[in-house]
Amino acid sequence: MMLSFFDQFMSPTYMGVPLIALAITLPWILYPAPTSRWVNNRLLTLQGWFINRLNQQIFLPINQGGHKWAILLTSLMIFLITLNILGLLPYTFTPTTQLSLNMAFAVPLWLATVIIGMRNQPTAALGHLLPEGTPTPLIPVLIIIETISLFIRPLALGVRLTANLTAGHLLIQLIATAAFVLLPMMPTVAILTATVLFLLTLLEVAVAMIQAYVFVLLLSLYLQENV
């Protein structure tokens, strides 16, 4: 039976039951639980430092009202990083390569920022649809363009995360297949290909972390416009 390179992105099932829910739930058990002790272990200390640095980077330009989102966005970023990195392990499934899951993350959070802006400052929120100093004949066209760009934001969030992870996984599989095929015929070329594969895997680990950071950073920018 011939398998396609895209079969790795199919949601796994067991006896007809989709396992994507299990793939999303299990990473939570890997996180260290906080303790009431004054002195923590190295892992908890590193996790606390990472979360503090993240909050400083993301919420520094946001006013006090947007800081209520700190727990939500920080948890989302750590969760996305965990899913993305675990998906690089052999015989695993990456839920974030599914556009439906990424859109389920992006659409509600984007819609929440829009609703907050409409409720707290409707004039400023609607003012983003029409740049200041626009010539009168261009007003209807610019309003339509800005409205379309507003509704494209969640789609861009989901597609960006899906496309980057999918492209990385495909490239890793293509190079790994090439190294496996070339090993009996040209061992030297196969070793060089395997070296490229190792470097690409390191790059994909960085991409997995960066894409999760970009996802949350863009959400924070949308929040900044509406609070």
> For residue 19, what pLDDT is reported?
75
Residue 144 has pLDDT above 90, yes or no: no
Confirm if 180 and 49 have CB atoms less than 8 A apart: no
Q: What is the rounded average pLDDT of the residues 30-56?
A: 76
Render pLDDT for 50-73 as a digit per residue (tens, 0 to 9): 888 888 888 877 877 778 888 888
Q: What is the pLDDT of residue 67?
A: 81
Least confident of 103-107, 108-112, 133-137, 148-152: 133-137
Residue where the block lists tokens 């989102």: 69
Q: Contact at 8 Å (CB) between 184 and 120?
A: no
Question: Which position has the higher pLDDT, 182 or 129?
Answer: 182
- What local confidence, expressed as pLDDT, does residue 214 receive? 92
What is the reported pLDDT for 2? Answer: 44
pLDDT score at 216: 92
Burial class (CB in 10 A: 0-12, 13-18, 19+), 182: middle
Selected residue with higher pLDDT from 79 and 128:
79
Q: What is the pLDDT of residue 1?
A: 38
Higher confidence at residue 58 or residue 38?
58
pLDDT in tens, 157-166: 999 999 999 8
The pLDDT of residue 156: 92
pLDDT higher than 80, residue 132 = no
Give 195's contacts (C-beta < 8 A, 6+ positions apart). Answer: none
Give 196-210 pLDDT, tens digit per residue.
989 999 999 999 999
Q: What is the pLDDT of residue 142?
A: 84
Mean pLDDT of 4-20: 70
